[in-house]
Structure 1
Amino acid sequence: MKKIINDVSVVEEEMISGLVKANPDVLSKIEDELIVIRKNPKKDKVAIVTGGGSGHEPAHAGYVGYGMLDAAVAGAVYTSPSVDAIATGIRAVDSGKGTLLIIKNYTGDIINFEMAAEEVEEDDNIMTRKVIVTDDVAVENSTWTAGRRGVAGTVFVHKIAGAKAESGADLDEVAATAQRVVDNVRTMGMAINPSTIPAAGIPGFTLGEDEMEVGIGIHGEPGVRKQKLTSANEIADILLEKILADLDYNHSEVAVMVNGCGGTPLMELYIVYNHLADVLKEKGIRIYKSFVGNYMTSLEMEGFSISLLKLDDEMKQLLDEKAETPAFKM
């Protein structure tokens, strides 16, 4: 295993500290915690809190800032943050208007976020609502989940719910908007090489030189099937076919995300997008806005995912609103 690290026991702490030091005007870190919060939060607004295991950078802390998240709570690599840490994060950004928890559908995340919500509601009288992101069309159940996984489409939830909260909407309105995004976003991914958790030292799965894994998640777990590696255009078609079969996108306007898994060159992501844009045009699906890059990664995994968000007028407006975070600017 080759990693540019100091010690496997402190990779998460050093990563979070480095992120905050690199963005001192935007971010703060809670001492002795893997929690990143907004440097100058807006008062009297609904707070938005999310989190999960490390290894998905820039998610989640890279999306803390104006127009998106108020706090991101990190765990160890691919490991849910603790109940205590999540509760600390919620308390740190509460402004009296309630907190929306955006939770990817992984069993550990759901259990810990729900327990933290109960704690702050009982002990601190902080109102909470939650949305559970289930955008992955690859599997209905997995080792990590009951039901569909939450993957790169979560970034659209962060952006649109964040803009709604920034507008002064109340907690129920922000939660309803976030849920509408969840209901209208679908994602499918693939990989040609796995990731290696620093503390484990071995890849999450193995592939032959001529193989690819279709339907991968974001925790280094294998996908739904291995198959022979094929061209970028054909891979995009495989992923897109599954997405379009799951939700009616006919005559829709969409936001498109081609998300790198961490080790994929931008050259390859743009090759994928080149074909994807043509196919969507042929199908009469209008692209309103596109995002190509690393938005929710899996360490150094080589691969990508496609996310399509079916937009309505309000979602378009909120997607266009200002965001000022380390990893996402509008």
Structure 2
Amino acid sequence: MKKIINKPENYTDDMLHGIYQAHPDMVKYVEDDLRCYCTAQKKEGKVAIITGGGTGHLPLFLGYVGENMLDGCGVGSVFQSPSAEQIYNISKEVESGAGILFLYGNYTGDIMNFDMASEMLEMDDIQTRSIVGADDVLSNKNPDARRGVAGIFFMYKCAGAKAAQMGTLDEVLAAAQKAKDNTRTVGFALTPCIIPELGHSNFTLGDNEMAFGMGIHGEPGVWNGPVKTSRELAEESMKEILGDMSVASGEEVCVLINGLGATSQEELYILTGDVEDILKEKGIKVYRTFVGEYATSMEMAGASISICKVADEEMKQWIDMPVHTPFYTQV
């Protein structure tokens, strides 16, 4: 294992220490717990949005805490959930009178701990709502059981914008739901990644082998086989996405091409061109394109493709709203 680290068991806390050192004007921690990550610029009267999840996916999850996006993030160890106590402590810090939306990925440990935190907050008469990202088309035929991956970015954008517009808690939840209903993702891996505490790969692939549908924690995909071309991957991914979500000719979508940690920008733009050519052939208009690392898996090589159907003009306003965080800025 070759990584720029100190002790493997300190990986998450050392990383957080560096973030707080670099961005003290934007983020802070509470209760003397580095993993209780939240904005340093609380806005009174605004719905607070809190996410959470394991380390290893930057900029997901904590990277979207900032102006016009999220207000806090519970940080777990690599690929592990934050605790209910951490989520509760963050909530108490960022809540400003309008309630809290919990918005996170559809994983068992996260659901359990966010639900526990919600019960604790109810005893403090703090109102909460919850919604999970579940955009990974190939992870389950049942939409309610799907994993939340890079497409959760659009939920963050829409909910964050509505909260910044001083929407009510139910209105912010509805904005997140609109993005969720209109977003689908397919991903594929070319290499495994190494979890520092383990010191070895979390799965294996042959030299000329890839995994299609692989999850961001190394969950098995739908097939392992020879590496395909960018065009072939784009075609198979779009077949799965558009087969699951109806997008008619003339409708508009946003495209998110996400690198999993070790994929070059050049490769991501090759994939972008192929995806948008396919959409153009089908008469589907691209409203906005996002290319880069939005939800990684340590140093895994691979990518994911997310399509978010733009439902109406209000959704365009949410997607276009400027944001600024230590990890992501949109002007």
> What's the TM-score once normalised by structure 1's chain length?
0.96
Taking only aligned residues, the RMSD between alpha carbons, in angstroms, comes to: 1.4
Runs of 5+ unmatched residues, structure 1 = none
Q: Which residue of 2 aligns with 1:109?
A: 110
Letter in 1 for 2:235: D
Give 1:184 shift.
Answer: 0.7
- State whether residues 65 and 72 of structure 2, in contact with CA within 8 Å, keep that contact through their aligned partners in structure 1: yes
Q: Does the aligned pair in 1 maintain the 2:158–2:315 contact within 8 Å?
A: yes
Deviations 1:104-135, CA, capped at 9 Å, x for gaps = 1111111111111111111x211000111110
Cross-structure match for 1:174 = 172
2:136 aligned with 1:136: yes
Identity %: 46
Deviations 1:70-98 (A, max 9, x none): 00110000000011111111111010110
Please state if 1:239 is matched with 2:248. Answer: no
Partner residue of 1:228? 226
What residue is the counterpart of 1:73 in the other structure?
A: 74
SS of the equivalent of 1:138 reads: helix
Q: Please give the per-residue CA displacement for 1:188-221, whole angstroms capped at 9, x wherever unaligned.
A: 0001101111111121211111111000111122
Taking the aligned partners of 1:304 and 1:20, their CA distance within structure 2 comes to 29
* Offset from partner CA, 1:310-330 (integer Å, 9 cap, x none): 112111111111211122222
SS in 1 for 2:139: coil
Assess if the C-alpha contact under 8 Å between 1:196 and 1:220 holds in 2. Answer: no
CA distance in 1, matches of 2:109, 2:222: 21
Q: Distance in 2 between matches of 1:32 and 1:194?
A: 31
Provide the residue aligned with 1:313 in structure 2: 313
Please tell me the residue identity of whatever aligns with 1:13. Answer: D
Distance 1:320 1:152 in 2: 18
3-state SS of the aligned residue for 1:33? Answer: strand
Is 2:290 the partner of 1:291?
yes
Taking structure 2 as the reference length, the TM-score comes to 0.96
In the comparison of the two structures, how many residue pairs are matched? 327
Q: Indicate which of 148, 151, 155 corresponds to 1:153.
A: 151
Paired residue type of 1:200: L
- Cα pair distance change 1:141/1:81, threshold 3 Å: farther
Q: 1:33 to 1:125 in 2, by over 3 A?
A: farther
Give the letter for the 1:125 counterpart.
Answer: D
In structure 2, the partner of 1:39 is 40
- Render the CA deviation track for 1:148-201: whole Å, top value 9, x for unaligned: 100000111111100100101000010011011111100000011011111111
Structure 2 matches for 1:1-330, cutoff 5 A?
A: 1-30=1-30, 31-122=32-123, 124-140=124-140, 147-250=145-248, 251-311=250-310, 312-330=312-330
**Structure 2 portions without partners, runs of 5+:** none
Is the contact between residue 236 and residue 275 of structure 1 (CA under 8 Å) also seen in structure 2?
yes
Task: Name the SS for the 1:273 alignment partner.
Answer: helix
The code of the aligned residue for 2:22 comes to A
Q: Secondary structure at the match of 1:28?
A: strand
Q: Distance in 2 between matches of 1:6 and 1:316?
A: 44
CA distance, structure 2, for counterparts of residue 188 and residue 16 of structure 1 = 30
CA distance in 2: counterparts of 1:218 and 1:35, whole angstroms: 23
CA-to-partner distance for each residue in 1:27-55, whole Å, 9 max, x for gaps? 11222231221111111100000010110
Shift of 1:141: 7.2
The answer to whether the Cα contact below 8 Å between 1:220 and 1:301 also exists between their aligned partners in 2 is no
One-letter amino acid of the counterpart of residue 261, structure 1: L
